[in-house]
């Protein structure tokens, strides 16, 4: 225990953002209402997934990837599948690739909806939270049609996807795409440009471009700092190079580039772009196989790869070393939120306690992938 200075009060700030329920502990050293120093304590959800990976076979690890970022399981499945496929060197059927993109983008929308909703409830606006959940419910129904699950999908497997999309899925998705843009407009009317909301967020928790790169921040948080870096554009995987979408970048519309409002707004813009991508994919969906031929007992050739994919929260990478057996020799998971949270002590210096809530919400971290 450190020497306690009587001028300061130590506050354990508990679960604040819904995706940090009970597993993120912030130890704040406060001087009145000003935070002098913040220490995030993580590891309360540490399940040892990397150790588990060395004890199960390659296909068996797929369900564990669902439990990484459980608001974006599809994207985690996808990144893992891409990693193993890179070592296997197999060709994925085009239909499977397009289905994967559809699922990944729908999941990006649903993840950002949770981010939007929970962030607004952090800021004291409860109704938008219900809006976010309402729209996400639609996507959950779609995913339930496809694989029967509503949270941990385990749909994208090594070699393709687990089964073909059912009848009526395409019509239902189109219905969603017709209905969604109007809702985005509604979010902007209700919340994004609300004077109180903007005042709470503009110029709070500014991440400069240099800081963002130095701390390895990725995803919407990096783009909010004004760097146009999206792996779907820079290192296209699947069929992203054939698609037409924009990469939104923070412009400091309401304050400074890289402030909390920019980070919030990135997600709203990205949802619109993801909806565009899904629409394009539905139009070009060909007939064909939904999975490549993968042997029952999967022996992955010796070698090591690092493959990364653009998740809703940033760059998810898998560093995989295989020794030619049926189990990974080493699987390191490079989680986006891990880097995104590591900048937190720097941002939290000298801000108000109420702004801490805004900071955590705008970084949109998720604990299961930090703790793994």
Partner 1 sequence: MEAKDIHQLLVNRFHDRIKDFQENTFPNAVVVDGSSIVEVCGFLKNEPGMEFTSLISISGVDLKEQSKLMVAYHLGSMQHKHKIVLKVETDRNNPHVPTIEMLWRGANWYEREAYDLYGIIFDGNSDLRRILLPDDWEGYPMRKDYVYPKRYHTWNV
Dihedral, CA of residue 207, residue 210, residue 214 and residue 219, to nearest 10:
60
Q: Where are the beta strands (DSSP E) in the chain?
A: 9-13, 25-31, 34-41, 156-157, 160-161, 303-311, 314-322, 328-334
110 vs 337 by CB, closer to partner 1: 337
Inter-residue contact 22 to 44 (CB < 8 Å)? yes
Inter-residue contact 51 to 351 (CB < 8 Å)? no
Shortest distance, position 211 Cβ to partner 1, whole Å: 8
315 binds partner 1 (CB under 8 A): yes
Shortest distance, position 212 Cβ to partner 1, whole Å: 10
Residue numbers 323-342 binding partner 1 by CB under 8 A = 330, 332, 334, 338-339, 342
HSE of 150 in the Cβ direction (CA atoms, 13 Å)?
6
Please pick, from the candidates 319, 326, 351, 353, the single residue that binds partner 1 as defined by CB under 8 A. 319
Compute CA distances 58 → 162, 302, 331, whole Å. Answer: 15, 13, 10
43 binds partner 1 (CB under 8 A): yes
Phi, psi of 23 (to 5 degrees): -120, 0
Phi, psi of 259 (to 5 degrees): -90, 180
Shortest distance, position 25 Cβ to partner 1, whole Å: 13
Shortest distance, position 205 Cβ to partner 1, whole Å: 16
Please pick, from the candidates 25, 37, 86, 163, the single residue that binds partner 1 as defined by CB under 8 A. 86
Distance CA 47, CA 150 (A): 22
Residue numbers 274-313 binding partner 1 by CB under 8 A = 303-308
312 vs 317 by CB, closer to partner 1: 317
Shortest distance, position 368 Cβ to partner 1, whole Å: 12
**H or E element: which one contains 262?**
helix 260-283
349 binds partner 1 (CB under 8 A): no
> Binding segment for partner 1 among 21-29, 136-144, 265-273, 316-324 (CB under 8 A)?
316-324
86 vs 172 by CB, closer to partner 1: 86
Inter-residue contact 105 to 273 (CB < 8 Å)? no
CB neighbours (10 Å) of residue 89? 8
142 vs 300 by CB, closer to partner 1: 300
In the block, residue with structure tokens 């009587």: 6
45 vs 271 by CB, closer to partner 1: 45
125 vs 227 by CB, closer to partner 1: 227
Shortest distance, position 306 Cβ to partner 1, whole Å: 6
139 vs 238 by CB, closer to partner 1: 238
Please pick, from the candidates 48, 124, 166, 350, the single residue that binds partner 1 as defined by CB under 8 A. 48
The region that residue 288 occupies, defined by phi over 0 for left and psi between -120 and 50 for alpha, beta otherwise, is left
The region that residue 4 occupies, defined by phi over 0 for left and psi between -120 and 50 for alpha, beta otherwise, is beta
Binding mask 197-226 for partner 1 (x = CB under 8 A): ----------------xxxxx---------
Inter-residue contact 257 to 250 (CB < 8 Å)? yes
128 vs 317 by CB, closer to partner 1: 317
314 binds partner 1 (CB under 8 A): no
51 binds partner 1 (CB under 8 A): yes
Shortest distance, position 362 Cβ to partner 1, whole Å: 18
46 binds partner 1 (CB under 8 A): yes
Q: CB within 8 A of 162, min separation 6: which ones?
A: 147, 154, 155, 156, 291
User: Which residues make up the interface to partner 1 (CB under 8 A)?
Assistant: 42-43, 46, 48, 50-51, 86, 213-217, 227, 229, 234-235, 303-308, 315, 317, 319, 321, 330, 332, 334, 338-339, 342-343, 346, 371-372
């Amino acid at each position: 225990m450190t020497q306690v200075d009587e001028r300061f009060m130590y506050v354990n700030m508990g679960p604040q953002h819904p995706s940090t329920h009970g597993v993120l502990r912030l130890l704040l050293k406060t001087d009145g209402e000003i935070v002098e120093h913040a220490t995030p304590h993580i590891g309360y959800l540490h399940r040892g997934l990397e150790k588990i990976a060395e004890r199960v076979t390659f296909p068996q690890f797929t369900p564990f990837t669902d439990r990484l970022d459980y608001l974006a399981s599809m994207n985690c499945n996808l990144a893992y599948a891409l990693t193993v496929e890179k070592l296997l060197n197999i060709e994925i059927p085009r239909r499977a690739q397009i289905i994967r993109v559809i699922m990944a983008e729908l999941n990006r929308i649903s993840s950002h909806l949770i981010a939007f909703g929970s962030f607004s409830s952090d800021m004291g606006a409860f109704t938008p939270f219900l809006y976010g959940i309402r729209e996400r419910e639609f996507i959950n129904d779609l995913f339930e049609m496809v694989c029967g699950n509503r949270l941990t999908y385990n749909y994208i497997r090594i070699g393709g996807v687990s089964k073909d999309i059912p009848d009526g899925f395409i019509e239902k998705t189109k219905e969603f795409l017709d209905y969604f843009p109007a809702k985005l407009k509604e979010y902007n009317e209700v919340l994004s440009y609300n004077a109180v909301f903007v005042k709470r967020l503009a110029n709070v928790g500014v991440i400069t471009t240099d800081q963002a790169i130095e701390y390895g921040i990725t995803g919407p948080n990096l783009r909010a700092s004004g760097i146009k870096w999206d792996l779907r554009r820079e290192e296209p995987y699947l069929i992203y190079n054939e698609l037409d979408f924009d990469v939104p970048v923070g412009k400091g519309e309401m304050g400074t580039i890289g402030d909390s409002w920019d980070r919030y707004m990135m997600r709203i813009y990205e949802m619109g772009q993801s909806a565009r991508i899904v629409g394009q994919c539905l139009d070009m969906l060909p007939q064909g196989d939904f999975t490549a031929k993968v042997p029952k007992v999967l022996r992955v050739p010796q070698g090591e790869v690092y493959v990364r994919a653009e998740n809703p929260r940033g760059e998810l990478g898998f560093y995989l070393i295989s020794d030619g057996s049926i189990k990974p020799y080493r699987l390191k998971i490079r989680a986006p939120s891990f880097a995104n949270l590591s900048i937190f002590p720097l941002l939290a210096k000298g801000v108000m306690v109420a702004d801490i809530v805004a900071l955590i919400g705008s970084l949109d971290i998720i604990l299961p992938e930090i703790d793994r």
